Amino acid sequence: MSMMDFKTEFKPTTVQPQQIEGRSFEMIDEEIGPHPYTEEQYPIVRRVIHASADFELGKSLVFHPDAVQAGIQAIRDGKKVVADVQMVQVGVSKNRIEKHGGEVKVYISDPDVMEEAKRLNTTRAIISMRKAIKEADGGIFAIGNAPTALLELIRLVKEGEAKPGLVIGLPVGFVSAAESKEELAKLDIPFITNVGRKGGSTVTVAALNAISLLAEQV
């Protein structure tokens, strides 16, 4: 088939976004095959696959048994959501967080964080977590970009300085990303993470939005 034939045969149609999403979910349900996820975990897996078009990533998710309910409760209680970077903050459906009194915060570009990171010769991601636990402990920590942020949060939990309501730890990358998630999965706190290097802000947003949707259900 020539390129001209392809262009001639292609006929785009106008489809409503809800129809596209609905059909996408149907296709995921048809293609995912056997999986170990519970009825409450699967909507999160499905949205992660929808956001990434990556079944391997979706099926690499790991849940603490209390993770989903802890996330729902944190949202309903109006707890803050802490994002590691602005990309996560921008993507979150804030209205579902704010209607319960919560807000989505990101500290990595705060002037005091930047100044302290420079003074200590460390990363802003690390200092942002130290600030976040003072202002948003008990909330949801959504980390999709910075493994150093996740490792610092894990350290703070181990030392008894932090007690997050839920940690969504899905950083992407080659340096420390997989290792940080392995360490998170060892903690006895509510978490959602995955195995391996894959992850990112987009799938972190997808997981968080899935939980906020579940929080809307009676």
Residue where the block lists tokens 């730890």: 169
In total, the chain counts a number of residues equal to 218
Burial of 108 (0-12, 13-18, 19+ CB in 10 A): buried
Q: Are strands 140-143 and 166-169 parallel, antiparallel or unpaired?
A: parallel
Q: Which contiguous run of DSSP H or E holds residue 106?
A: strand 104-106
d(CA 59, CA 79): 29
| Whether 40 contacts 180, CB under 8 Å | no
64 is catalytic: no
Annotated catalytic residue, options 35, 50, 64, 100: 50
Give the catalytic positions in this structure: 50
